[in-house]
Amino acid sequence: MRAVTWQGKRNVRVEDVPDPRIQEPTDAVIRITSSGLCGSDLHLYEVLTPFMTPGDILGHEPIGIVEEVGAGVPDLQVGDRVVVPFQIACGNCWMCLTGLPTQCETTQVHGEGMGAALFGYTRLYGAVPGAQAEYLRVPQAQYGPIKVPEGPPDDRFVYLSDVLPTAWQAVAYADVPQGGSIAVLGLGPIGDMACRVAQVRGAGRVFGVDLVPERLSRARARGVETYDLRSFDNEKELVAAIRDETDGRGPDAVIDAVGTEAHGSAAAKLAQQASAMLPRKLGGPLAERFSVDRLGALYTAIDLVRRGGTLSLSGVYGGMADPMPMLTLFDKQIQMRMGQANVRRWSDDIIPYLTDEDPLGVDDFATHRVPLSEAPHAYEMFQRKQDGAVKVLMQP
Ligand SMILES: NC(=O)c1ccc[n+]([C@@H]2O[C@H](COP(=O)([O-])OP(=O)(O)OC[C@H]3O[C@@H](n4cnc5c(N)ncnc54)[C@H](O)[C@@H]3O)[C@@H](O)[C@H]2O)c1
Ligand SMILES: [Zn+2]
Ligand SMILES: [Zn+2]
């Protein structure tokens, strides 16, 4: 089959690889019809290079048709249409039963000291072949895949794999009071969708911050009060502007939907680039121990949130020694919640919103649909935020 493979820093290639097969009774194989390109893939594209191996198959946002099922997957039939969550979880361990499939005790990557395995996401997360491909082997298929109806286009359901539950969890963790205020930093797919979820879940005012014009105008068109980072001399001014709108206090909650590659963190950017250039054996441990996060957005979030408010991080961070302003966090009495999204914890709450009325605007959320063969161009365009690219779906 054809698959998008990682070959090196900013280098992906579509290659012929062996077709996946059922290996365990709890496996299924699906034929992918659409597969998303995610901000998380961009981390692999550049800064997480030390954790990748050339040839790794990328991708973790698939929808498709069941092609083959193992004997231990009673609820799936060949021909079913399914969305597959980006994390692999058993559904039956203590963590899964607690609503934390990202911490699944059956699939945790013990060798690396990490949580549940993820599709297409470095050796830290199990080096599992990913979903930007024609076919995908789905381990633990008795739990993960979500059956969806035939009829509507893939766009209606594909975001259940990641974007929707991530945005939903971001808003749930933000814990905004009804009618309260929330600011979302970063208006990529995750931040944009988090604004939409906050609106439908009763936030009174939703502020959105980014520095890419098309992303700002997309959010503004849906009633978000947008702020262009570039129009301020520094983050302090941005914070002051939003505080002015919230009785001088700051919003009740702030979502960081930016993560480790925040714009405006020059020193950390150099450190990240340096560790991405080291030989793999050295770069991995170094990146883990010495921290390479660019913390610009997180610092802004800490400054911006009101005293006693909540920070919800969905942007991915990976450093182990990030300097944090503990004085401010403690003094402002800030609550912080974070993590990969627990897809099946939220999916049943989200599905009622995926209707013809389309309150979340999923049907035209994608800005680009490209054949799998154009993946190298799609990665470059999405990373550089060219051509108005916000959400790209690849179609094998
Ligand atoms: N927690 C999860 O389960 C989960 C799931 C999916 C994605 N993510 C993470 O969420 C983050 C966002 O993902 P995405 O797909 O929307 O990616 P993205 O890269 O398209 O979005 C990031 C946005 O942040 C903006 N930005 C950069 N610096 C900024 C700053 N200082 N202030 C405000 N905005 C800034 C960028 O212009 C961009 O629009 C990534 O870190 C991704 O890895 C987490
Ligand atoms: Zn994703
Ligand atoms: Zn489990």
> pLDDT per residue over 206-253, tens digit each?
999 999 999 999 999 999 999 999 999 999 999 999 999 999 999 999
**Amino acid identity at 108:** Q
Contact in structure between 157 and 165 (CB atoms under 8 Å): no
The proportion of the chain whose per-residue pLDDT surpasses 70, expressed as a percent, equals 94
Tell me the whole-structure pTM to 2 decimals: 0.96
Of 113-117, 119-123, 321-325, the one with minimum mean pLDDT is: 321-325
Ligand 1 centroid vs 325 CA: distance in angstroms?
A: 22
String of DSSP letters for 377-395: HHHHHHHHT-TT-S-EEEE
For residue 83 the two structure tokens come to: 């969305």
Q: Which ligand is nearest to the CA of 84?
A: 2
pLDDT at 39: 96
Whose alpha carbon is nearest atom 14 of ligand 1? Answer: 39
Whose alpha carbon is nearest atom 39 of ligand 1? Answer: 188
Ligand 1 closest atom vs CA 209: 33
Ligand 1 closest atom vs CA 42: 19
Domains of the chain: 2-162+342-395 (3.90.180.10), 164-338 (3.40.50.720)
String of DSSP letters for 105-146: TTT-BGGGTBSS-BBT-TGGGT-B--SSBSEEEETTTTTS-E
For residue 38 the two structure tokens come to: 């995610």
Residues near ligand 1 (Cβ within 6 A): 38-40, 42-43, 162, 166, 185-191, 209-212, 215, 229, 257-259, 262-264, 296-297, 314-316, 340-341
Residues lying with their CB under 5 A of ligand 2, a single-atom ion = 38, 40, 162
pLDDT at 264: 72
pLDDT at 60: 98
Q: Is the pLDDT of residue 205 over 50?
A: yes
Confidence of residue 316 (pLDDT cuts 50, 70, 90): very high
Q: Is the pLDDT of residue 148 over 60?
A: yes
Contact in structure between 251 and 207 (CB atoms under 8 Å): yes
Residues lying with their CB under 5 A of ligand 3, a single-atom ion = 89-90, 93, 96, 104, 106
Whose alpha carbon is nearest atom 21 of ligand 1? Answer: 188
Contact in structure between 159 and 365 (CB atoms under 8 Å): yes
Q: Is the pLDDT of residue 369 over 70?
A: yes
Ligand 1 centroid vs 40 CA: distance in angstroms?
A: 8
Ligand 1 centroid vs 79 CA: distance in angstroms?
A: 34
Determine the Cα–Cα distance for residues 128 and 108; give it in Å rounded to an integer.
Answer: 12
pLDDT at 183: 98
Determine the Cα–Cα distance for residues 381 and 351; give it in Å rounded to an integer.
Answer: 30
Q: Which ligand is nearest to the CA of 259?
A: 1
Ligand 1 closest atom vs CA 263: 28
